[in-house]
Structure 1
Amino acid sequence: MVEVEVRTRTGHAGRGASPTGQSVGGYEALVLRDNDPGTYDGLSVHRAVENVRQVIAPALIGRDVRDQAALDGLLVELDGTPRKSRLGGNAVYSVSVACLRAAAAVAGRPVYRTIARTELTTVPVPSFNVVNGGRCGDIVQAFNEFIVVPYRAADIAEAVETGIRVFDRLGAVIEKYTGTSAGIAPSYGYRAPCDDPRVVLELIQEAVDASGCADKVAYALDCASSQMYDSTTGAYELKGKPVSSAELVDYTRGLTEDFDIVFVEDLLEENDWDGFAHAVSQLTRTLVLGDDLIATHRSRLEQALAAGAVDGFVLKPNQVGTITEALETYDTAVRHGLLAVPSGRSGGVVDDIVMDLSVGLQVPIQKNGAPRTGERIEKLNFLLRAAENIPDCRLADVGGIVRF
């Protein structure tokens, strides 16, 4: 990964690093890698680093770090491609984040206060990706993430403990179901124990009940269906069989009738605009979110609005490449009454700017991963610290947005 440090003449500094994801949509800013099989199996980022040093740095030196929009505009101009493919989205994004952090350091306040649009009174409900699907060995679980949302916790401390308690209990539940130890998936949740999404939800519900948290917890799904879509047949894979877009929506509607599901993300392939619009009309007990569909691009969100294709989107600023572009997409969503859910990435970084966005923008829900690795635990600690530093802080009220 790329990490950039920006220093000002006043002695202030800011760092930025660019994450990546296991499920990466086709409209995301390009993660520029060296593709040299002899170095990190092709995943090294020396070219992106050199683009920061040789192209970006000379253009930014001497400019005012407090003018984020102008700096990001220059970054976009320097690259000049739709997906930041010349300099690398990882180079551009890391610089954009570093500039924002340096500006906050100059102002002497946290980044989340620098970007805040309103008075800060809440921290978001963290959600926990506890079971990971996809293609893992002999099992092909069509849905990518099964998520626990402790939306009725009394405060952030109880929300964090609830998510961790359920995750801890879930391992034993899965072991009882499979007769073997619960496997760890690439995204560090438990590996899906079967190909049936309903069974996975039932196992999670068993863990929730065993944790004594049934009155506090709801669920969410990230289907990442672009990974299960066959462009030659126009069909999706579900439980080992091809299904149409309409059949996938109908199946998911059944799940939302039997489980309290706050949102369903990327239920269809990233270009299936008609399918998303159909999902919005049919899934009346949940919110339909676009991730790969939107890729945090304002133009794609506007297209989704025109098509009636989403109830909200997943805010991943590295998808579009700069903080300014991500905030423009967020502001567009808010103007049209859509939900924005900031999210970390499976290939995440410590001290992720997405947490500052989560608090500063006062969103109701934030997506986190499984509470197993350092970069995910750090995000939870961030929310705990922010709650202590915001006077009379409370957990965001998700009751006003759920549809079950």
Structure 2
Amino acid sequence: MEDRIASVRAQQIIDCKCRPAVEVEIRTESGAVGRGAAPTGTSVGMHEAFVLRDGDPSSYNGLSVHKAVDKVLNVIGPALVGMNVFDQRAIDEKMIALDGTPDKRNLGGNTIYSASIAAFRAAADARRMPLYKHIAGRDIRTVPVPCFNIVNGGRYETLTQAFNEFLIVPYGTDSIDFAVEMAVTVFQKLGEVLAKHLGHKPQVASSYGYAAPSDDPEVILSLMREAIDACGYGDRIAFALDCASSEMYDSETGTYLLKGSRVSTDDLIAYAKGLTEKFDFVFIEDLLDENDWDGYAKAVRELTRTIVLGDDLTVTSPALLQRAHETHAVDGFILKPNQVGTITEAMDAHRFASEHGMISVPSGRSGGVVDDVVMDFSVGLEVPFQKNGAPRSGERIEKLNFLMRANAASPGCRLYDIRPLLRF
């Protein structure tokens, strides 16, 4: 198939945290249209693609992206016009070559990725089909199990919860509609459980889950289990953790914060192992610092009751994934296409993982947009599970509706059965 890119436009929009983002619109000669905007994470790994912002303190505290818009209009656009919209690899490689830096510092990873998404969407629009079907190359057979970040750790006025995300995974059903209903029911019940525990209404945290009520992960997991049991879903919902431990790591002492104390890599692995013996975990992500390769290899050996995932360690980079595979550092990775900066590189990372027995877990970012392309990835690649936020706020709810719509539009489609992957 062939359909040439006719025009490339760009403008500044705002994401769900009201931070500026660059949005690119690509039109083809046949009249197909694709739009793309790069999300931004709150916890950002040091190896991620560079986010180009203006740095002008008088506009959005320096976060505006007019420079990125100019790069699209004056550099990327003229280079892409006339290219075949169905040749995603050629489009992405053209932008990578134009940039000429390892971390996309010149044009901006956010700029390149927004244009990459726009081209991908325009190609699907030219075929008059949803992007997930364009990715799959046929009707989809499964939708992923959503994993909900319902309690948010981090630094609060009275405490610091070292682990970043406490998730529930509603896996014990073949219906996406019921999986969503279970998660919503437990999330609402947890509000009541936390209110009773705290003596007041729980706070809404920055990622729209509940603010961590304790610096002790075990206390939080016990409260979550109380809510799950109260809803009658004890054997249908499991747990997951994103520790984001790079945020709590002190490189001078080589220690991590945990329950108000500093602990070693070995202590943290032993603590996580203890948690997996008390609670059923589907996965634990970013248990250690993003440069602690030896520690991760040890964690994989020790944590036999859960899947060990890398995020800041691997940043969706095919080169880092290859290293992770060779050193047995993780069982899988978090697929965040904006970390690497093009659709092609993200697809290559997923392909490498699939061919080498590693799990890809697509994830949105906290600074997301309503039509996040990661949902098309999740559904089109037919992955087992994906990471979601709490079932609160528009762009997070929209992701759930997306899964239910895709399922309903695809004959014979069902929720992915992750039970063969579980280690508990």
Name the TM-score, length of structure 1 as normaliser: 0.99
User: What are the superposed Cα offsets for residues 47-102 of structure 1, whole Å, 9 maximum, x if unpaired?
Assistant: 11111111100110111111000000011111111111111111000000000000
Q: Report the Cα distance in structure 1 between the residues aligned to 2:65 and 2:399, rounded to whole angstroms.
A: 25
- Offset, 1:31: 1.3
Verify the 8 A CA contact 1:127 1:148 in the aligned structure 2. Answer: yes
**Code of the aligned partner of 1:157:** D
Q: Report the Cα distance in structure 1 between the residues aligned to 2:209 and 2:361, rounded to whole angstroms.
A: 20
CA RMSD of aligned residues (A): 0.9
- Offset, 1:117: 6.1
Match of 1:60 in 2: 80
Q: Report the Cα distance in structure 2 between the residues aligned to 1:241 and 1:156, rounded to whole angstroms.
A: 41
Q: Report the Cα distance in structure 1 between the residues aligned to 2:194 and 2:100, rounded to whole angstroms.
A: 49
Verify the 8 A CA contact 1:93 1:318 in the aligned structure 2. Answer: yes
Instruction: Tell me whether 1:187 sits opposite 2:207 in the alignment.
Output: yes
Secondary structure of 2:229's counterpart equals: helix
Instruction: Tell me whether 1:353 sits opposite 2:373 in the alignment.
Output: yes
Q: Find the partner of 2:225 among 205, 209, 234.
A: 205
Q: Report the Cα distance in structure 2 between the residues aligned to 1:154 and 1:390, rounded to whole angstroms.
A: 15
Q: Report the Cα distance in structure 1 between the residues aligned to 2:274 and 2:254, rounded to whole angstroms.
A: 22
Q: Find the partner of 1:120 among 140, 148, 154.
A: 140
User: What are the superposed Cα offsets for residues 238-266 of structure 1, whole Å, 9 maximum, x if unpaired?
Assistant: 00111000100000000000100000000
How many residues were matched structurally? 404
Match of 2:112 in 1: 92
Give 1:356-395 correspondences, 5 Å limit: 356-395=376-415
Verify the 8 A CA contact 2:174 2:416 in the aligned structure 1. Answer: no
Q: Report the Cα distance in structure 2 between the residues aligned to 1:208 and 1:36, rounded to whole angstroms.
A: 47
User: What are the superposed Cα offsets for residues 136-173 of structure 1, whole Å, 9 maximum, x if unpaired?
Assistant: 22211010000000011230000011111111111111
**Code of the aligned partner of 2:420:** G
Q: Report the Cα distance in structure 2 between the residues aligned to 1:137 and 1:328, rounded to whole angstroms.
A: 42
Q: Which moved more, 1:346-355 or 1:110-119?
A: 110-119
Instruction: Tell me whether 1:285 sits opposite 2:305 in the alignment.
Output: yes
Secondary structure of 1:3's counterpart equals: strand
Q: Find the partner of 1:324 among 344, 355, 361.
A: 344
Match of 2:124 in 1: 104
Q: Find the partner of 1:151 among 166, 171, 178.
A: 171
Instruction: Tell me whether 1:46 sits opposite 2:66 in the alignment.
Output: yes
User: What are the superposed Cα offsets for residues 260-302 of structure 1, whole Å, 9 maximum, x if unpaired?
Assistant: 0000000000000001000000000000000000000000000
Q: Report the Cα distance in structure 2 between the residues aligned to 1:285 and 1:190, rounded to whole angstroms.
A: 27
- Offset, 1:196: 0.3
Q: Report the Cα distance in structure 2 between the residues aligned to 1:117 and 1:335, rounded to whole angstroms.
A: 19
Change (3 A) 1:390 1:288: same
Q: Which runs of 5+ in 2 are unaligned?
A: 1-20
Match of 1:172 in 2: 192
Secondary structure of 2:35's counterpart equals: strand
- Offset, 1:118: 6.9
Give 1:334-345 correspondences, 5 Å limit: 334-345=354-365
- Offset, 1:215: 2.1
Name the TM-score, length of structure 2 as normaliser: 0.94
Give 1:160-309 correspondences, 5 Å limit: 160-309=180-329
- Offset, 1:396: 0.1
Q: Which runs of 5+ in 1 are unaligned?
A: none
Secondary structure of 2:379's counterpart equals: helix
